[in-house]
Structure 1
């Protein structure tokens, strides 16, 4: 007997998703992809990222950006970075106590002692910018001459970041109200006081949503901060450094789930 009626809900959703994914991409199609995209992690963060990303696409289109340029900005992390910058500006207008009372000072580099070889999650535009800042310093002593687990971008004498103006959103978002707590954490202890502003998790969620929306269109990648910095200081060109630092796709998902959060992966807590 022939089956009648509507297809099962799950099968219908899969069919519709395949049809939408395979359809030629235009601006409306891109917006629809963003509306359907899903990422791991808290639902409220995903919805916030969706609103931010939709607004970015609308603003870019209103300013005359082509679809190709919009897709490129989503893919290389420019969209996430611009939105992070806007969030930072918003926070700076009315800084929370954790920002007003931050104990962070030049040369206090305990937060730059990394927990493992990865160093944290960065986008392509952040990786390229860090490479540009560090490549001229290739062959010189680096942060690992001060501490074996330190970020290579550090100056081992002054313990200041040699790419400070180009540092990624992860580094910009990390702060502490207690420098002594940072020292304890860097030595493997556990002390309160350090944390991460919401700007980096929000930007990471935007980047994850862009990847989900553009699946099958372009590759949206992430990179390991410490490996990128080390490769730049070894004298590798930008393409070789990106190859050395490229994450497998699961790393962004794990960061978004909090299993390998950007804070935990990059810093001793």
Structure 2
């Protein structure tokens, strides 16, 4: 996992990766700029109490809530944005580290948008659901990293796997390496909560998961008889990209 993440960081220097990186950063910052502008206007022009000091406290609590929501929602928003550029990022990784792989089938833009929105909806819903546990002290961070680690690890893996193998192979690989996939997801979730680093994390995570996927499928290739590619010399056996993703509602269930 560490080696894959290190290679993911190194991938940031690839020119083919930088375009989707900067676009995803710009879109993510734009989304939160709208959130902060709208929240600021709402707090400024909405009076809950007539007493000035009570209104000041209410405004302070309002801004605190905006900060919390920004921190909670950021992983889902930036991951949903970068999902639109997953093919470009994965292709740059494969060109650099796995040049003998055949071309992967692309996913229509419309399907990418729908998948990204569904992923965002799932992450936002679950994070809002566990938000009240913030009052329970250390329980919240544990839940936050477990929930987001599972979601991020599984979704990044399934989006990457859908480019190269069929649904049955994706399920086998996910079951065989579920623990490592979860730990990779937790690492991604942790990086997404570090200011500035979180802007780069989705690209790092995508690149890292490409390496994890290639390692896992080749490690188990000896016992497979179809579906999963044993290596770059074999033909590409593909499912429709996104068809095995939890985002589109038709993917493998836990």
| Fold agreement, TM-score > 0.5 | no
Would you tell me which structure has more helix in proportion to its own residues?
A: 2
Return the TM-score normalized by structure 2.
Answer: 0.29
Give the TM-score normalised by structure 1: 0.28
